[in-house]
Amino acid sequence: MPQASPTRPSYVIDEMISAKSIAARVEELAREITRHFEGTDKLVVVGLLRGSFVFIADLVRELDLPVEVDFLEASSYGDRMESAREVRILKDLTGEISGRDVLVVEDIVDTGFTLSHVIRMLRARGPSRLEICALLDKPSRREVDIKAGWTGFVIPDEFVVGYGIDYAQRNRNLPHIGKVRFPE
């Protein structure tokens, strides 16, 4: 793999999903989620940091429900492109979810290890309903049987960045989803 210079990364990012397509899909997801949770007194939306922060911000603004937002940070990647399959909880929820309706918002479901670990942990806390919404899904990489109730986009096995998703803490600020490519 080529080495990055201090001023320029050694990879190229090709746009995969436009900012306009993302915005339209987020609106659709919010309508579906609003219908599903209609009548709830307060939905707890749990964002999995760090990759979901842009998605969760856009999604909760589109929900026509009373919401509480909390965050959980779990890591199995670090600065690598492959999961270490060892999930660490770096930041836990600050609020209580027992007896509450909970929507977990994830940036990407890849192998499923991290999300599966988080869902088991949250289920043990006794929410009345626990659902998952993922911006991206890579079913070809799934190693753990887990599925989101709502998915923004199904993508092929590509390493992606943008719209909150990073590679070694870079490119979260891109308004679109891009595929990382390492030129020869």
- Domain regions of the chain by residue span: 20-157
Average pLDDT over residues 24-36: 98
Q: Any idea which architecture 20-157 has in CATH?
A: 3-Layer(aba) Sandwich (3.40)
List, for residues 50-67, the tens digit of each pLDDT value: 999 999 999 999 999 999
Average pLDDT over residues 65-71: 97
- Assigned token pair, 183: 């030129």
Which pLDDT score is estimated for 184? 76
- Assigned token pair, 162: 């943008």
Q: Choose between 184 and 180: higher pLDDT.
A: 180
Q: Rounding to the nearest 10 degrees, give the CA dihedral for residues 132, 174, 94, 32.
A: -30
- Assigned token pair, 133: 């919404």
List, for residues 31-47, the tens digit of each pLDDT value: 999 999 999 998 999 99
Given pLDDT bands bounded at 50, 70 and 90, which one contains residue 107? very high
The 3-state DSSP class for residue 140 equals helix
Indicate if 110 belongs to the active site: yes
Which listed residue (58, 101, 107, 110) is catalytic?
110
